[in-house]
Structure 1
Amino acid sequence: MDNMQLQRWVEHISMQYFHTPFLHQATFNSRLRTTGGRYFLTTHNIEISKKYYDTFSREEVEAVIKHELCHYHLHLRKKGYRHRDKDFKDLLQQVGGARYCKPIKEDKPLYKYEIRCTQCGQKGLRKRRIDLQKYRCAKCGGKLTLQTLSFDN
């Protein structure tokens, strides 16, 4: 799906569920990683995560579009468009939008390094490298070694 098809889809959902046209721009954003979409208060445009579209079903993406359209229509009507507002919650439930989007599972490992004590064998995981000359084992005071973890699938 490209941006033109997304634009038509958002316009269709807006007319079908909100009975009001969507007069601004809807686009995919490949940089969105932690959210399904977002609505801009200043431009009134909507962005949908390309990764979210590629990962989940069409129904899930439609629920995210409904969520963003709730922000859009309520903001233009000068009603409560924030997540905590009653107007937003009521409209979201009425149209069947998603309150929260499903998290996107990242393929990236959480930890890159393993630190091990040469004396007692105590292990620890780290996201970032450390200078082994500055630190000792907390359990026995022994020297530490750093090993880069490999995640071959």
Structure 2
Amino acid sequence: MKQTELQQLVEEISATYFNRPFLHVARFNKRLKTTGGRYLLESHDIEINPKQLEVHGMDDLIGIIKHELCHYHLHLLNRGYKHRDRDFKQLLNEVGGTRFCQTLPGQRRTESVKYIYTCKGCNQRYTRKRKVDTRRFVCGKCSGKLILK
């Protein structure tokens, strides 16, 4: 899909689902890594992650566009356009947009457990990514001493 096709698609979705025109620019942004798209408050433009289309297809792309258009239209109407606002949640539900985009393969890094602590008193295990000061912290169950395994 090209930029012009994306622009046309966004304008069609805006007219169909929101009954309002999209008067700004929609573009692909290859630098987006962890998000499906974003609405730019100052320029009112919408940027879309092209990987979402390549990996997950047109249905997910349309859901992302609806999500960004909710931000766009609510912001221009001076209503609650943020994720936590009731207006945003309600409009997103009405148009059938996606709340979260699917993760792309290889994007999420899983950090492994580096430290395992065991309580001397009750043998409760604690797994941690960071080191814990055993002189300062104790078991949450029995207040026993923690030992690094």
Query: What TM-score, normalized by structure 2, do the two folds share?
Result: 0.72
CA distance in structure 2 between the aligned counterparts of 1:95 and 1:63, rounded to whole angstroms: 9
Gaps of 5+ in 1: 112-137, 140-153
CA distance in structure 2 between the aligned counterparts of 1:108 and 1:94, rounded to whole angstroms: 30
Q: CA deviation at 1:107?
A: 7.4
Q: Which runs of 4+ in 1 moved over 6 A?
A: 107-111
Q: Write out aligned runs for 1:1-153 (5 A).
A: 1-106=1-106
Residue in 1 aligned with 2:137? none
Gaps of 5+ in 2: 112-147
Residue in 2 aligned with 1:147? none
- Report sequence identity in percent: 51
Between the two proteins, the alignment pairs up a number of residues equal to 113
Write the deviation string for residues 10-51 of structure 1: whole angstroms up to 9, x where unpaired. Answer: 000000000000000000001111110000000000000011
Write the deviation string for residues 68-115 of structure 1: whole angstroms up to 9, x where unpaired. Answer: 00000000000000000000000000000001111111179868xxxx
CA distance in structure 2 between the aligned counterparts of 1:93 and 1:108, rounded to whole angstroms: 27
Q: CA deviation at 1:57?
A: 1.6
The residue identity in structure 2 corresponding to 1:49 is: N
Query: What TM-score, normalized by structure 1, do the two folds share?
Result: 0.70
8 Å Cα contact 2:27-2:46 kept in structure 1: yes
CA distance in structure 2 between the aligned counterparts of 1:75 and 1:108, rounded to whole angstroms: 31
Q: Alpha carbons of 1:46 and 1:109: their partners in 2 closer, same or farther (altered >3 Å)?
A: closer
